[in-house]
Structure 1
Amino acid sequence: MQPVSPSTTMEASHRGHAPLAIITMLFFMWGLLTSLNDVLIPHLKAVYTLSYLQAMLVQFCFFSAYFLVSLPAGRLVRRLGYQGGVVAGLGIAALGCALFYPAATGGYGLFLLALFVLAAGVTILQVAANPYVTALGAPHTASSRLTLTQAFNALGTAVAPTLGGMLILSGPADESHSAVASQAHAVQLPYLGLAAALAVLALLFAVIRLPRMDANTDARTTGSSLLRHARLALGAMAIFLYVGGEVSIGSFMISFLGERDVAGLDTAGAARYVSFYWAGAMVGRFLGFAAMRVVSPGKALACNAACAIALVVCAVVGHGHGAMWALIAVGLFNSIMFPTIFSMALQGLGPRSGEGSGILCMAIVGGALIPFVQGMLADAAGLHLSFLVPLACYVFVLFYGIRYAGPVRPT
């Protein structure tokens, strides 16, 4: 094998910059779409008079799509290529957003269907875009590169709660039949706008030219054989628990900040503070992009998980603004977890990375199941104690980071 010259490496790096910038737009959009669920949950809970457990069906239907759609999405991406997969994902997500219009008169069940269709599109985007980003440069900086794109994903999640609070939660509290119908219709225009934006992005990605990358995997390789790789199998469990913990905290934060012994905020006011939670993730990812070029991803992951554990403990046992800011600050330490676990789990899979990505995206179903568990605990034991569920999730992430805390090795 001939050595690669520094000039060749630099040229390849520059060729990857423009595609990376374009793909980053996708990360922003699916962050926005995912974080809007944090606003939908208290909104629909009030409109349809739901328990915490029933309200968590929002996250259950959204994140269950990752489990059900990820493997078919992997096959679709192998057939269409990464760019074709992005176009398909954007189109399906646009359809899901458009379904919110009839859902306003069709009841809670149709809202859940719309969320599932929307999430199916986002799942295809995840399966196509994450391995594409890891392939756009040197393998030893894949964690750093994916962390940078995830920073823009976090920008979308930071914008969404404030935007959703203004557009969806700002109506007056009124339990009359006409007011409830009006509150249900409050989601129509915001989601039609999102449907239009996604359709425009789909057209853009259909016509632009991006570098072709092989999305094929060895047909003899199966998910079960891949899961014999301990790094991937444990990484899938870490993704499952991390996403579940992060989504649980975001899902319950508006209700938590509304508690009298915490901050006593109304839903619209609390939604603005949820933006701080997601903004912390954005800031942390920009910092992580630089730091993880020299720091072992495993060590960075373990350190952040330990800090998240300490902060959740403070929120569980604390009261007032101390508990409020402790829970919000967890977002800062969530920052690097997803991209770091994702790239660590794919390390060493080579041409099977696409299928490994599908398995990891299936693990995002933790966002459906963990909030469900927290909802049951919140109904049974109270909101404060229910945060022991995400606490347990971060303990496993700490274990994964410690286990694979070796140095960064250029390859």
Structure 2
Amino acid sequence: MTNKPAFTEKKYVVIFIFVTSLFLMWGLLHSMSDVLNRHFQTVLNVSKSQSGLIQLSVFGAYFIMSIPAGMFLKRYGYKSGVVLGLTLFAIGTFLFVPAANVASFGFFRIALFILGCGMATLETVAHPFAAALGDQRTSDRRLNFSQSFNAVGAIIGPAIGSYFLLRATGGNSTDLSSVKSLYIAIGCIIVFIAIAFLLVKIPALTDPHTEVDPEAVNIDTAPGKKLYQHKHFIWAVTAQFFNVAAQGGTWAFFINYGHDVMGFDNQTAGSYMSIFMAMMAAGRFAGTYLMRFIAPNKLLAIFAFGNILMCVIVAQGWGWTSYIALMMINFFFSIMFPTIFSLGLKNLGKHTQQASSFISMGVVGGAFFPLIMGKIADHNVAQAYYLPIICYAVIFMFGYKLYKVKH
């Protein structure tokens, strides 16, 4: 190849901007659910372990919706897939109004589940959509660019949630009007994006993953094997499960840690979550740079080991020392999802697309782990951070040894 492929083409620029905005939206809503976790403890008088059901609702939706969304995408195409995701997204946000009117935690969980189904659909569609908007040789760059806005959304979400929810309720208020106002506004923005998306003309696309690239390195070196016989893929699914489990638990009780251990009020604890999410963005940029010199699997193992140390320090409750270590967990976490993903897809050839769906379903780990951490956090939120060490030990072993492709 003598010509360098372009990042994208002019005819795709507008639609690429729209697709990238989707990454930002679900990053924002994902991180805002962690502010809701603390908010509902205050206004609905639920325990820390019960509030972990928020993550069960959202991540459980991912597990249930990923395969149907993939089937819908295959049959009806990218545009219809995005519209379906945005529709479910909007319905979920608007359901926060009747849920707030009856002050029902169960109703809120239904709304969060439908919202989660919308996010799952958008994730299933947006990743291959962004990859298809140009030359396949630059699809990784496009995805990384779009995912950087997911991190931006994760920074903005806690700031918005803390300002409108935690500031509004103060210490002991049971008022839910701020929840209604915030989610009505978000729902209206989503409807606007959906309408605008319907008006955008999408050029004919060819999914780069369906083409045979003579320069491709993802060639199945053991074509006689079925997908489940590729051990590195099985370990990638396992590592991804524990990775998202650790993420869900760490994020869910971040504000509780600031409140219980550091003595912050709810708004201050929530405002620090934006810094927490900024650490993830910093880690992503640093990790991308370091991969020029360090093999991805080795860097994954190094970052996993770093988080084992950070969790030990966090669990001690040593004031600012432990709080900074808690911030660093997100820095080291940053590269884990995409790195596990890419290592799990190595040399799978025709199995690649199917494998991608299964690795994506590993997010169900985030549905259960906050519940387990919440049981300990009800008694001591600092000591609850011993539990993610199990997750990072599995990720360390995957990066150290279990990632290897066996013929």
Alignment match, 2:179: 187
Contact 1:162 1:275 in 2 (8 A): yes
1:152 is aligned, of 149, 152, 174, to 149
Alignment match, 2:117: 120
**Displacement after TM superposition at 1:109 (Å):** 1.0
Q: Residue type matched to 1:194 in 2? A: I
Q: Distance in 2 between matches of 1:141 and 1:215?
A: 10
CA offsets per residue over residues 229-278 of structure 1, 9 Å max, x none?
3232221221211111112111101111112xx31001111001111111
Q: Distance in 2 between matches of 1:152 and 1:143?
A: 15
Alignment match, 2:374: 375
- Flag structure 1 segments of 5+ consecutive residues without an equivalent: 218-223
Change (3 A) 1:85 1:294: farther
Q: Residue type matched to 1:401 in 2? A: G
Q: Distance in 2 between matches of 1:232 and 1:16?
A: 36
CA offsets per residue over residues 369-404 of structure 1, 9 Å max, x none?
11111112323x522221112121111111122236
**Displacement after TM superposition at 1:174 (Å):** 6.2
Q: Distance in 1 between matches of 2:371 and 2:12?
A: 40
Identity %: 33
SS of equivalent to 1:369: helix
Does residue 1:89 correspond to 2:85, yes or no? yes
Alignment match, 1:23: 19
Change (3 A) 1:137 1:227: farther
**Displacement after TM superposition at 1:294 (Å):** 5.6
TM-score, normalising length: structure 2? 0.87
Alignment match, 2:216: none
Contact 2:246 2:391 in 1 (8 A): yes
CA offsets per residue over residues 61-118 of structure 1, 9 Å max, x none?
1110011111111111111223321221111111111111111013111100000000
1:229-308 pair list within 5 angstroms: 229-259=230-260, 262-292=261-291, 295-308=294-307
Contact 1:81 1:215 in 2 (8 A): no
Change (3 A) 1:340 1:134: farther
Alignment match, 2:31: 35
Q: Distance in 1 between matches of 2:80 and 2:44?
A: 39
Contact 1:28 1:152 in 2 (8 A): yes
Alignment match, 2:221: none
- Flag structure 2 segments of 5+ consecutive residues without an equivalent: 211-224
Moved more, 197-206 or 126-135: 126-135
Change (3 A) 1:194 1:211: farther
**Displacement after TM superposition at 1:151 (Å):** 2.1
**Displacement after TM superposition at 1:121 (Å):** 0.5
**Displacement after TM superposition at 1:50 (Å):** 1.1
The total of aligned residue pairs comes to: 388
Change (3 A) 1:245 1:171: same
**Displacement after TM superposition at 1:406 (Å):** 7.4
Does residue 1:319 correspond to 2:318, yes or no? yes
CA offsets per residue over residues 309-358 of structure 1, 9 Å max, x none?
21111111241111111101211111111122222223334454443332
Q: Distance in 1 between matches of 2:292 and 2:8?
A: 15
Moved more, 384-393 or 288-297: 288-297
Change (3 A) 1:315 1:210: farther
**Displacement after TM superposition at 1:196 (Å):** 1.4
Does residue 1:199 correspond to 2:191, yes or no? yes
Q: Residue type matched to 2:206 in 1? A: M
2:5 is aligned, of 10, 35, 51, to 10
Moved more, 203-212 or 243-252: 203-212
- Aligned CA-pair RMSD: 2.7
TM-score, normalising length: structure 1? 0.86
SS of equivalent to 2:253: helix
